[in-house]
Chain A
Amino acid sequence: MERRLKTRLLLVTPLIGFGILVFFLGIGFRLGKHNVHPSAMLNDPFPEFSSVTLLDDEAITRQDLIGTFRLVNVWASWCTACIEEHNLLLELARSGTISIIGINYRDQVQDAKMWLYERGNPYETVVVDAQGEICVDLGVYGAPESFLVDAEGIIRAKQVGVLTRTAWMEEFQPWLEVKAE
């Protein structure tokens, strides 16, 4: 009797194992995309940098970003996904919602200027990062990527990939409302 019970238990073991596997895979699928890139750099100070601006070729450092909320947007003329978020950026800039600073990532100056000329320029100023050094310091995965930087220069929100309207409303906009209060 005890032996039969044991054989049965042995037969059920693979099933139990499979059940456990399905359980954990289920959790994995439910986590969704949010956990793909952990939020490193959040609540950290924006890194020091010193470079030149794209349009005027003037010196620019971290100090020039401090003082107000900024949306720092990593983009490039070769970046096709950047086109998807461009309308939202233009809208935010034209409505005066926030000052947008571009970081031109691994790009040719002429191509970048042409891109802005053709599609419109949402940026208050654009920082040239031809070697990708600023972006490595920022922990950027690739273009596009967006950071919300507060008046003290602390990174408050981050979006890896295209800045969607939903992401803006949920992760970025609330910080501006806190400021207004």
Chain B
Amino acid sequence: MLIVLVSFTLSMTQSIDGFVFEHESERKRFARLIEEFRCPQCVNTNLAGSDAPIAQDLRRTIFSLMREGKSDQEIRNYLRERYGDFILFKPRFTPGTWALWGTPIVLLLIATWFLMGIREKRNAITLDLNDIQRVKEISGIH
């Protein structure tokens, strides 16, 4: 029973979806890549989590591109040329997406500036209280 279990988990680490890998690193790379792309048919699922025929085809495509010795970036480009930016969960930085990438940074800057303003005001108030304290001390009134 134990042997069966162990061999089962062993075989689990070596193949995904019928693909057999030579190294653990290859399996990990495949798993990472299929997490990275959107399934074209099902909108908000990645290739790893979809049973759609097209997702199966794309998983097989990624596997064979890996076997051909393509780099991650070459695989990304291959899919993007055919399916458009839509397939990438992480959008590229292009003239069309600068607002997407830039807005959070701009918002952060505005928020920082705003917080700095509040802190300055607070400091000013403490100073005021200190002054009053000192005035009280000097004047001897408690």
Contact = CB atoms under 8 A, between A and B. Distances in A.
A interface, by DSSP: helix, strand, loop or mixed?
loop
Interface of B: 40-41, 52-54, 56-58, 60-61, 80-86
7 contacts: A37-B84, A41-B81, A135-B57, A136-B82, A142-B40, A142-B52, A142-B53
B84 A139 contact: yes
B87 to A, nearest CB: 9
Contacts of B52: 142
Interface string A98-139: 000000001000000000000000000000000111011111
A170 B57 CA distance: 31
B120 to A, nearest CB: 15
B interface, by DSSP: helix, strand, loop or mixed?
helix
A90 B139 CA distance: 103
B66 to A, nearest CB: 15
Contacts, number: 49
A39 B85 CA distance: 10
Contacts of A138: 82
A38 B86 contact: yes
B103 to A, nearest CB: 11
Contacts of A66: none
Interface in A79-109: 106
A166 to B, nearest CB: 23
